[in-house]
Amino acid sequence: MNTTAPATISLTTDGPVAHLVIDNTARANALNRSMLDLLAHHLDAVARDRDIAAVVLAGAGANFSAGLDIAEICEPPAESIEEEFVRVEEALARCPKPTIAAVRGHCVGGGTQLAVACDLRVASATARFAITPAKLGLVYPTSSIDRLVSIVGPAATKRLIFTADTITATTALNYGLVTDVVDDQEFDATVDRIAATVAARSPLTIAAAKQMTDQAASEGRVSDELHRHWQAVPNPDLGVGLAAFVARVEPEFGTSPNEQGKVLSTNASDIA
Q: CB atoms < 10 A from the CB of 219, how many?
A: 10
Query: What is the rounded average pLDDT of the residues 221-238?
Result: 93
CB 257 within 8 A of CB 239: yes
Distance of CA 75 to CAs 78, 136, 231, Å? Answer: 6, 14, 50
Q: CB atoms < 10 A from the CB of 152, how many?
A: 19
CB 118 within 8 A of CB 101: yes
For the entire predicted model, the pTM comes to 0.89
pLDDT band, very low/low/confident/very high, at 30 (cuts 50, 70, 90): very high
Domains delineated in the chain: 8-198 (3.90.226.10), 202-271 (no CATH)
Residue 29 reports pLDDT greater than 60: yes
Q: Give per-residue pLDDT as tens, 87-124.
A: 999 999 999 999 999 999 999 999 999 999 999 999 99
